[in-house]
Amino acid sequence: MKTQMKWNGLTIEISAEPNKFLSRIEGEEFTSLKVTSPATAKPLINDAFAASLIAQAGGEVNFVDVMLSAEQRAA
């Protein structure tokens, strides 16, 4: 699933797909998230996360917002 959103004035695209391989190894559902922006050449996020964490955040969009905000504060 792909979703576009604005984050701090930056247009980003969120791609989320079930990661069946990691889910099988870990024994719980994992989702691969890739967050890109047309303004940058590299992915902002490209990793797998427990699907339960994403659900607790309220979905992919909210999860990405929290992750990018935390990363921005840490910088």
d(CA 38, CA 28) in angstroms, rounded, equals 33
pLDDT digits (tens, 9 = 90+) for 15-29: 999 999 999 999 999
**pLDDT given for residue 75 in this prediction:** 77
pLDDT tens for residues 32-71? 999 999 888 789 999 999 999 999 999 999 999 999 999 8
- Those residues whose C-beta lies under 8 Å from the C-beta of residue 72, and which sit 6 or more positions away, are 8
* All residues at 6 or more sequence positions from 4 whose CB lies less than 8 Å from its CB, including other chains: 11, 12, 13, 14
User: 67 with 34: CB under 8 angstroms?
Assistant: no
pTM, rounded to two decimals: 0.87
